[in-house]
């Protein structure tokens, strides 16, 4: 993928000594090669890089690519805020699993040089747009790259959710909650709840019940063009969590609407990247067979 890169934005996980070291090294390397470097202002403040600090608004207006140092959570936060501007992201893994941050810290400089040379491939990932309606008025809106979870929160009791797909009644679910996941999010919380793994190219949305009272409530995958509607029908409130980062306290009677966003997130992968090889590595599946 050939990109006309002049300005590079850097994001990092706060409170990590490894990120401090890597981000400083990468900034110096990029500037030595003549690129303009912007560092997201919160991390810039914590690292003493105020000369390079830039707000999200400035980054969205000027950056040609964003490099994220940290784990998947750090990349999720940056991706959701920049998706509307179409800025591609590349992740350097300094977290634990790293399903989306697929460059090892030890290979960082060489990999970024290959990125700047146009050797990376683009991977478009769908976003979900979530709104909450109360008494006919919209009270909450947020995008999600991984998943949207409506759960019992701190009540300790099951909740009841009426679920509709494109206006058609599906079921009333009595459970700890319901996960609505993108293909990207199918390897996150949904996987822990026995949901299906969806390849990123699959145009689908997974609905995965959390500890359902009726064991016949199984995960189901629907079209990515469908609209999911969830309404709390019993006298219980619930927590709405989007990518585990954006939260809203839903009340009895609230309606949650989830549908595909008109924006996508563009991830950049290094040469040789394989989704299936990533699954084998991260999920500890069998080793590559001998030939």
Tell me, yes or no, if 72 is annotated catalytic: yes
126 contacts 183 by C-beta, under 8 angstroms: yes
Among residues 72, 102, 176, 254, the one annotated as catalytic is 72
Give the long-range contacts of residues 249-254, CB within 8 A, separation 24 or more.
Answer: 249/153, 250/132, 250/150, 251/134, 253/134, 254/132, 254/133, 254/134, 254/139
Element (DSSP H or E) covering residue 126: strand 121-134
Question: Partners of 241 in the beta sheet?
Answer: 149, 247
Sign of CA dihedral 61, 6, 88, 104: negative
Counting Cα atoms < 13 Å in the Cβ hemisphere of 92 gives 24
Rounded Cα gap, residues 25 and 21, in angstroms: 6
Alpha-carbon distances of 111 from 7, 101, 107, 165, 285, rounded to whole Å: 17, 12, 6, 43, 26
Rounded Cα gap, residues 190 and 197, in angstroms: 9
CB neighbours of residue 92 within 10 Å = 28
Supply the residues annotated as catalytic. Answer: 72
């Amino acid at each position: 993928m050939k990109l006309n890169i002049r300005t590079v934005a850097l994001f990092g996980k706060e409170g990590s000594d490894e990120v401090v070291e890597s981000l400083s090294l990468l900034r110096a390397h990029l500037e030595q090669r003549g690129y303009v470097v912007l560092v997201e202002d919160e991390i810039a403040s914590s690292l003493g890089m105020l000369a390079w600090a830039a707000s999200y608004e400035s980054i969205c207006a000027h950056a040609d690519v964003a490099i994220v140092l940290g784990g998947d959570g750090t990349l999720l936060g940056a991706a959701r805020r920049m998706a509307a501007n179409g800025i591609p992201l590349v992740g350097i893994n300094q977290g634990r699993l790293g399903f989306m941050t697929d460059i090892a810290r030890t290979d960082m400089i060489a990999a970024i040089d290959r990125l700047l040379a146009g050797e990376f491939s683009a991977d478009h990932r769908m976003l979900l747009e979530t709104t909450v309606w109360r008494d006919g008025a919209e009270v909450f809106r947020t995008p999600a790259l991984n998943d949207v979870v409506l759960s019992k929160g701190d009540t300790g009791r099951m909740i009841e959710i009426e679920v509709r797909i494109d206006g058609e009644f599906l079921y009333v679910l009595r459970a700890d909650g319901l996960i609505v996941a993108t293909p990207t999010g199918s390897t996150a919380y949904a996987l822990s709840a026995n949901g299906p793994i969806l390849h990123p190219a699959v145009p689908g949305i997974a609905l995965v019940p959390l500890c359902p009272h009726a064991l016949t409530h199984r995960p189901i995958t629907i079209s990515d063009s469908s609209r999911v509607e969830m309404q709390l029908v019993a006298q219980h409130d619930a927590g709405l969590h989007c990518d585990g980062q954006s939260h809203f306290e839903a009340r009895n009677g609230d309606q949650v609407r989830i549908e595909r966003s008109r924006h996508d997130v563009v991830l950049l992968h290094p040469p040789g990247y394989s989704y299936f090889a990533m699954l084998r590595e991260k999920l500890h599946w069998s080793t590559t067979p001998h030939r």
